Amino acid sequence: MTRLLLAALMVVTAGLVCDIDRVLAQDAECYDAEVSAHISSQTPTVFPDCLDDCIVISWPWIVDLDVSRTHFGDVRRGSLTVLAVLHTGYRDDLGSRRWKLRRNDLGGFNLLGGAENLKNRCADDQPPATAYIKPPDGQTLEDLRRMGREHYDRNN
């Protein structure tokens, strides 16, 4: 029981440290777009130092999708960078699959993992969701991607 409570506390702490809001699809009220796409690149962001006694279960990743079809929403075919909160990367060998996306306040999209049963489309006047990660002042998402690639020695 103590371990379970500690794990739950770590998830909440990770959310607070990274300014993650509504990271689980079941917490999302609606989606703005649904696309078919395959993953062309996925990079974890560098997790802030949380000392030696913490457990990180999920944190923000920057994922590039190659969109082949838009089922709903305003998304063009081709490359699309989205933000995701993951424990580990998606298997990119499985080809194209359907993804539900939520507009975020950085002007892009959050990827709603596990959203297969989410039925509600967002109203046109629905405010965007908080981005899963926001770069510090003076940095961009590309800076965060570069730092993640360097830190985790990923060349994707």
Q: What is the pLDDT of residue 153?
A: 84
Question: CA 24, CA 116: separation in Å to the nearest integer?
Answer: 12
State the pTM of this model: 0.80
State the amino acid at position 94 in one-letter form.
Answer: L
Low-confidence residues in the chain, pLDDT < 70: 1-27, 156
Domain ranges of the chain: 2-152
pLDDT tens, residue by residue, 79-97: 999 999 998 888 878 899 9
- Residue 134 has which token pair? 């926001």
Q: Output b/e per residue, 142-155; b: 16+ Cβ within 10 A.
A: eebbeebbeeeeee
